[in-house]
Structures are given as structure tokens and as C-alpha cells.
């Protein structure tokens, strides 16, 4: 009561008095105007004097952090169209902005391009578990680390089992169903592809968006998946081009980009993001953002995975990514790719709700929900429903952000 009286008296007093010029920058009105795209103040690192003892975690190489950082952020935030000509220097400047300001500006951009209450719910199913020949150092499903992980390879799931899981996901409010297979590519899997086409058309017939992640595919396979009704294809570049070879040796960065090209050419939405916490540096997270935000067209979806350390893999003892690095990556992605769905992917299970809320504030607008990710636990449907209730979030409608299918 007391607080209320104080506040209303303060509001009444400030409305009565004209705002003196000295406090104009604190006035909320320019920020509100920014939501419709006009000029606004931005508080950047260069707005403040250099700290007397720089924090080693945020110390920057002057050669990559441009002097005109303020203008870089200002221009990025004021943009009303999507850009794909970002330079690494520009992305570095945005990524290293004071975190509060970065989140605030990302949130502003988010509100210009999306309804901030809408969050897409996607459920994953591993349709082929384990037995993968690749050597991705983070992965539970590679045969190379099987002795340590103890994960047994399984047969591919049946179409019936997949459709039953999709139905359950839909009943729980998911609008996208994503099927993953633990293999390198689709070579020599003709009957496998026919089976997957049946899964795709069955899930589509339920009115859900369908995504698959099947490793590398060629142009003809992409067209076949499109013909079956596929909405999106997930294939992550994972990290920067420079850091990539320290994580995976059995396929190249360019091979990944070629698959993304086939997906795009077939008219399928691209879902491509990365993993944080592999031991990469800030410049690698900037490199990841640079790769995806300078593709000829931005991915429609950008998943941000935090490494889930799997015992027995080479990264099983990796220290967790700093949450602030994850938040910076999400916020920068929102500014660089304003129309893209930014997905909090792996690692959400261990994230307290308040951290998740900060990610949504910074522009994340999709999650995986359900019993399982691929081999690890996922935040359950009920837990996520309760969180949405508390924070005023709503499940995004089907095909809200993906091209509506013809039929």
C-alpha cells in the first residue's frame, strides 16, 4: 500500500513537471518509440569510460572491437530489413556490448519482428539411436566412444511408433515434431528414406510442422523429403570454421554448408545452429554467428545448444558454458537475424527458470519439450506448461513462422 502511494505520487509529480534536458536520456518515451523503428539511444561499451581493472572475461582485442561500436549497434537495432552482409568486426562489436544493453536491444528488435509472448514448442524423437560412424566429440551416439558411454545401437523405429509419439506430442501442445537419426548421411538408405517419407507425411497429416535431422543429404534426397511434406531440416554448423576441426574430423564444415544449400534449394526451411561449451572462445561464437547470418538467406531456425557433457565422450568432463556467453549468443543472434526463430536447445534441463526467462527476454522463441531430447532428458510438458503460465508465454501456432504448405 505504502509503496503504491509512493509510486503514484512520484508518477503524478513527474507528469506535472516538464522533463529537464539532463534526464531526457532516461525518459522511457524514446525507447517506446524505438519499438516502431525510429531513432533511439544505445548504451554501448564505448559510451562508458574504460574500467580501471578490466575483467579478463570481457577483455577485448582492440584490433577486433571497432571504435565505432556505438554506431554498429545503433544501425543494427534500427534496421527494418534483414541483412546478410555482416562483417566479423560488426558481430564482435555487437556480441561484446554491455550485457544488459545487448539484451535490452535484442528484446526491442524481437518485439519489432515477433510477438514476444509466442514460443514454439517442438518435440524430438530419436528414430535411430546410436551406432554412428562419425567422431563428433560431444556425441553420445558415436560408436567410437561406445565403450565409455555404454550406449547400445538400436534399430530404426517403425512408422507406427513414430506416429504414436507425434500424436502424444500434439496432445501436449507441441506444434513441431523433429526426428533425428544417428548416422553420417543418407547414402545407400533408399528404403530408409521411403520409410522416413511415410513418417513425414503421417505427421504432416496431423497438422504439425515436421523437421528431420538425418546428417548429410544431397539435392535429390532433399527434393524427396520436400515432396513428402517436410517443413524444416536441422543440420548444425556447430561452431566457427576455425574451431570445427578440433571437434569433428570425419566431415568438413563445407560439407555441412553444402547440405544446407541442398535443403534451401529444395524449398525446405533451414534449421542450423551450434553448440556452446565445447571449449571454444568468444571469437568462435562470433564465427558461428557470422557463418549463419551471412548465408544467402538466414536459417529460419537457429538452435543454441549448451553442451550436455556425456560421460565416456572426449568432452564428458568439459566445464559448463558461462550462462552470460549463452545469453550473449542468443541476443546477438536475435539482432543479426531478426526474423529467425531462435531456439533454446540442449542444456535447458539444467537451466533454472529465471535463466530461461532471460533467454526469452533476449529473443529466444522456441524450445524442445517432452520426455527426451535424443539420448538425454528434456524438460517435461507439464513443467514447461507451468513455466509458460508463470511468465505469460504462449505456444506458437503451427506454421506461424514457416511457409504454409499448399495442402
Residue 359 falls in the annotated catalytic set: no
Flag whether 122 is marked binding: no
Residue 136 labelled as part of a binding site: yes
Task: Reply yes or no on whether 271 is catalytic.
Answer: yes
Select from ligand DTB, ligand SF4, ligand SAM, none the partner in contact with residue 307, using the beta carbon and a kind-dependent cut-off of 5 to 8 Å. ligand SAM
178 is an active site residue: yes
The site partner of 142 among ligand DTB, ligand SAM, ligand SF4, none (C-beta below 5 to 8 Å per kind) is: ligand SF4
Among 248, 218, 26, CA closest to 133: 248
- CA-to-CA distance for 242 and 225, rounded, in angstroms? 31
Would residue 122 show up in a list of annotated catalytic residues for this protein? no
Q: Of these, 215, 277, 299, 363, which contacts ligand SF4 (CB under 6 A)?
A: 215
Among 91, 374, 387, 396, binds ligand DTB (CB under 6 A): 374
Answer yes or no whether residue 375 interacts with ligand DTB by CB under 6 A. Answer: yes
Q: Residues 122, 366: contact at Cβ < 8 Å?
A: yes
C-alpha cell belonging to residue 321: 558454458
Piece of the chain touching ligand SF4 by CB under 6 A; list 139-147, 167-175, 258-266, 340-348: 139-147
Return the one option of ligand DTB, ligand SF4, ligand SAM, none that residue 335 interacts with (CB less than 5 to 8 A, by type): none
Instruction: Give the per-residue SS3 of 38-59.
Output: CCCCCCCHHHCCCCCCCCCCCC
Select from 139, 289, 330, 362 the one that contacts ligand SF4 (CB under 6 A): 139
- Asked if 189 and 211 count as a contact pair (C-beta separation under 8 A), the reply is no
Instruction: From the candidates 343, 348, 359, 378, give the one annotated as an active-site residue.
Output: 343
Number of residues interacting with ligand SF4: please give it, by CB under 6 A: 9
Q: Confirm whether residue 178 is marked as ligand binding.
A: yes
Q: Is 359 annotated as a binding residue?
A: no
Q: Is 132 in the site for ligand DTB (CB under 6 A)?
A: no
Binding mask of the shown chain, residues 247 to 276, with x at each position contacting ligand SAM by CB under 6 A? ----------------------------x-
- Active-site position among 45, 122, 176, 178: 178
Dist CA 161 CA 294 (whole Å): 39
Q: Is 139 a catalytic residue?
A: yes
Measured from the CB atom, is 209 or 238 closer to ligand SAM? Answer: 238
Beta partners for 122? 176, 368
Q: What distance in Å separates the CA atoms of residue 148 and residue 146, rounded to the nearest whole number?
A: 5
What are the residues binding ligand SF4 (CB under 6 A)?
Answer: 132, 134, 136, 139, 141-142, 182, 184, 215
What are the residues binding ligand DTB (CB under 6 A)?
Answer: 124, 140, 178, 180, 213, 234, 236, 273, 303, 305, 308, 345-346, 373-376
Active site amino acids: 132, 136, 139, 178, 211, 271, 343
The binding site for [4Fe-4S] cluster comprises 132, 136, 139
The binding site comprises 132, 136, 139, 178, 211, 271, 343
Amino acid at each position: 500500500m505504502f509503496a503504491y502511494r509512493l509510486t503514484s505520487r512520484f508518477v503524478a509529480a513527474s507528469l506535472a513537471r516538464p522533463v529537464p534536458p539532463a534526464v531526457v536520456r532516461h525518459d522511457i518515451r524514446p525507447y517506446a518509440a524505438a519499438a516502431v523503428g525510429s531513432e533511439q539511444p544505445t548504451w554501448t561499451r564505448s559510451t562508458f569510460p574504460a574500467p580501471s581493472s578490466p575483467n579478463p572475461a570481457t577483455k577485448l582485442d582492440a584490433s577486433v572491437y571497432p571504435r565505432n561500436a556505438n554506431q554498429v549497434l545503433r544501425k543494427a537495432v534500427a534496421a527494418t530489413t534483414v541483412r546478410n552482409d555482416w562483417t566479423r568486426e560488426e558481430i564482435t562489436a555487437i556480441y561484446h556490448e554491455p550485457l544488459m544493453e545487448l539484451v535490452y536491444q535484442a528484446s526491442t528488435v524481437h518485439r519489432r519482428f515477433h510477438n514476444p509472448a509466442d514460443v514454439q514448442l517442438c518435440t524430438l524423437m530419436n528414430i535411430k539411436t546410436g551406432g554412428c560412424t562419425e567422431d563428433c566429440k560431444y556425441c553420445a551416439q558415436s560408436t567410437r566412444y561406445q565403450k565409455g558411454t555404454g550406449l547400445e545401437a538400436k534399430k530404426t523405429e517403425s512408422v507406427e511408433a513414430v506416429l504414436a509419439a507425434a500424436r502424444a506430442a500434439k496432445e501436449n501442445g507441441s506444434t513441431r515434431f523433429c526426428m533425428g537419426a544417428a548416422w553420417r548421411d543418407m547414402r545407400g538408405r533408399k528404403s530408409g528414406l521411403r520409410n522416413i517419407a511415410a513418417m513425414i507425411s503421417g505427421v504432416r497429416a496431423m497438422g504439425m510442422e515436421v523437421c528431420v535431422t538425418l546428417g548429410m543429404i544431397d539435392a535429390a534426397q532433399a527434393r524427396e523429403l520436400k515432396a513428402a511434406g517436410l517443413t524444416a531440416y536441422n543440420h548444425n554448423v556447430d561452431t566457427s570454421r576455425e574451431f570445427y576441426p578440433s571437434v569433428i574430423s570425419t566431415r568438413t564444415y563445407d560439407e555441412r554448408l553444402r547440405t544446407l544449400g541442398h535443403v534451401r534449394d529444395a524449398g525446405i526451411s533451414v534449421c542450423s545452429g551450434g553448440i556452446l561449451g565445447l571449449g571454444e572462445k568468444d571469437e568462435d561464437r562470433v564465427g558461428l554467428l557470422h557463418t549463419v547470418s551471412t548465408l544467402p538467406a538466414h536459417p529460419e531456425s537457429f538452435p543454441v545448444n549448451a553442451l550436455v557433457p556425456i560421460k565416456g565422450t572426449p568432452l564428458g568432463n568439459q566445464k559448463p558454458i558461462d550462462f552470460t556467453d549463452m545469453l550473449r549468443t542468443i541476443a546477438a543472434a536475435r539482432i543479426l537475424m531478426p526474423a529467425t526463430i531462435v531456439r533454446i536447445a540442449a542444456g535447458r534441463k539444467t537451466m533454472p527458470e529465471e535463466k530461461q526467462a532471460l533467454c526469452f527476454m533476449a529473443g529466444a522463441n522456441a524450445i524442445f519439450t517432452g520426455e527426451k531430447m535424443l539420448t538425454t532428458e528434456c524438460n517435461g510438458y507439464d513443467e514447461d506448461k507451468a513455466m509458460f503460465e508463470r511468465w505469460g508465454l504462449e505456444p506458437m501456432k503451427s506454421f506461424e513462422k514457416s511457409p504454409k504448405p499448399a495442402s
